[in-house]
Structure 1
Amino acid sequence: MADQAAVIVGVDASEGSLRAVRWAAHEAARRGADLRLFHACVVDPGDEAEPLPEHVTRRTRHAAKIARTAAPGVEVDVHVELGLAVDLLLAASGTAPLIVLGSHGLGGLRGALTGSVTLRVAAAAHCPVVVFRGQAGPQGPVVVGVDSSPASEEALRFAVDAAVARGVPLVVAHAGRQQVPSIEPDQQAEDRRELGELVAGLAHEHPDLDVTARVVEDREPARVLMAVAPDAQLIVVGSRGRGPVAGAVLGSTGNDLLARSACPVAVVH
């Protein structure tokens, strides 16, 4: 068994959750952690008189096989609980180092771009949440969006660790402020100076890490993060708090990324 708490990945009937399982297995291996496959069930898994439905058993066994094939050295266990997926995952987030979810399923709304459970967990979890979307290219960089908020600082730490662990470049992106033309050049210069100092500090702390800074003048930060490195394997953003309404907490940037990103997105509180 690994020394640290297990990475948790949600398992349901969606194909997206199985792709998330593969990603989570590789991530657990990078961290030297165990992997816990989580499934919320409406039948009490502890009630011997009510055995687990066959489709639940079949689904979780298949997911476990995928995880063990993807990362043979990782200890994998299946955890089935009675209750609502959101409540159970949020409770588990208090001790988990990371939760990984597919972008659909887990009780998501039919036709929605991102499942409702995924949005609510990403918004309110106590640990980082990775929403597996699109493709995670093995050679692409890690991209992180930064501003002046404490949430941005946490996101940056997560992104640095992710890039170092993968041995790939880190792109630090900032959506510059668009103001009236008479003062915009000064603000652009200030944005670039602050970002340059940040990247210089990272380069000093991590001399083997290839760090690139990008300031892009755009009113839509999500568009900036998706555009600065189209081959990114992970985009990292900070979340400013926790609350019951996903959109109010993640904001437009987080919501847009979870709906449109071509690669996995990490939301860091």
Structure 2
Amino acid sequence: MLAGVDGSAEAATAALWAAGEAALRGAPLRLVAVVASGDNSQARDIVRAAGEWCRREHREIDVAEEVVRGFPPAELVRESVDAQLVVVGSRGRGAVAETLLGSVSKAVAERASCPAVVVPRCRTSFALGPVVLGVADPPLGSATVAFAFAEAALRSTSLLAVHVWRPVAGRHSRIEAETRATPSAVDDVRSGLAVDLADWTTKYPDVQPDLDIRYGEPAEELCRAASSAQLLVLGHRGTVFGFGSVARGVLHRADCPVVIVGETHHGEDVAFFDERRRADERQDRQDADSAP
């Protein structure tokens, strides 16, 4: 289990959530702080404080603390190769803290080589509720579904598979568009979803999924469905262009931890990270030049 820490409250919440997951799985936890440049002493203090907090709350787990040098998203993605999960907070320190989703969180969620979890700061208790699986059209691949079923089984909780019927774009009103989602069409979607999940119920007999077909804006409806969930699981067909608007919207709005499961994990995209690093360096120089 890998968690990135940077001294922010969001990262501290994510680290504590990761510690709970490590305890649930009987796995060790690695806390990693990435330093781009300068003295490592502050980073060592940050990762040490996070480690003490995690040990205090979960005494049964082994916690390792590490400070590494490099470009934060690139290093966390590189470290994710050997992790069960990589866990980050929804925002970090610096300029990105002014946005709802930090650049490090977004990059890790898009490019990690294992399932990536983005933990919001606004909720600190995740003990109850189902695992919610967002089902796209066409259905997602097996990695996402397998992860959702395994998590529901691990937590001895229910699984809610949610498919959102998106409004039809164009000049039609919402009412006119909604009539296109006829009862027979909705039944067809529900039946198809049940068939897609049937094999997984054989593998996980203790997990009998509920099916929820909704109509509306997908990110909004998924967040509503997951308002009391332990996890919201989404798939990501990895490309160098990142993920789509639904995943971005969910990561901005969700009140529960969101797991992004890559169907085609591709690890570090060197060109992407090199460009991001150069952009950060340019911004640092501009900030230094404008400082009084």
TM-score (norm 2): 0.79
- Given candidates 46, 50, 57, the residue that maps to 1:59 is 46
Provide the C-alpha distance between the structure 2 equivalents of 1:108 and 1:255, rounded to a whole number of angstroms.
19
Summarize the alignment of residues 207-226 of structure 1 with structure 2, pairs less than 5 Å apart.
207-218=205-216, 220-226=217-223
The 3 A distance-change label for structure 1 pair 213 and 221 is same
Between the two proteins, the alignment pairs up a number of residues equal to 251
| Contact 2:91 2:97 (C-alpha < 8 Å) held by counterparts | no
- Given candidates 109, 112, 117, the residue that maps to 1:125 is 112
The 3 A distance-change label for structure 1 pair 17 and 88 is same
The residue type paired with residue 72 of structure 1 is R
| Contact 1:175 1:217 (C-alpha < 8 Å) held by counterparts | yes
The 3 A distance-change label for structure 1 pair 222 and 182 is closer
1:154-179 residue CA offsets vs partner (Å, 9 max, x unmatched): 22111111111111111111113555
- Given candidates 245, 255, 262, the residue that maps to 1:262 is 255
| Contact 2:73 2:107 (C-alpha < 8 Å) held by counterparts | yes
Match of 1:35 in 2: 29
Summarize the alignment of residues 1-269 of structure 1 with structure 2, pairs less than 5 Å apart.
7-43=1-37, 52-53=40-41, 55-105=42-92, 109-133=96-120, 134-135=122-123, 136-149=125-138, 151-176=140-165, 178=167, 181=179, 184-218=182-216, 220-243=217-240, 245=241, 249-269=242-262
DSSP 3-state at the match of 1:104: coil
Higher share of residues assigned helix: 2
The 3 A distance-change label for structure 1 pair 186 and 150 is closer
Which consecutive residues of structure 1, in runs of 5 or more, have no partner in the other structure?
1-6, 45-49
Match of 1:3 in 2: none
Provide the C-alpha distance between the structure 2 equivalents of 1:90 and 1:233, rounded to a whole number of angstroms.
24
TM-score (norm 1): 0.85
Q: Which segment drifts farther, 79-88 or 209-218?
A: 209-218
| Contact 1:108 1:114 (C-alpha < 8 Å) held by counterparts | no
Provide the C-alpha distance between the structure 2 equivalents of 1:27 and 1:125, rounded to a whole number of angstroms.
18
Q: CA deviation at 1:149?
A: 5.0
Q: CA deviation at 1:186?
A: 4.0
- Identical aligned pairs, as a percentage? 33
DSSP 3-state at the match of 2:82: coil
Q: CA deviation at 1:127?
A: 1.1
Q: CA deviation at 1:182?
A: 5.8
The residue type paired with residue 99 of structure 1 is V
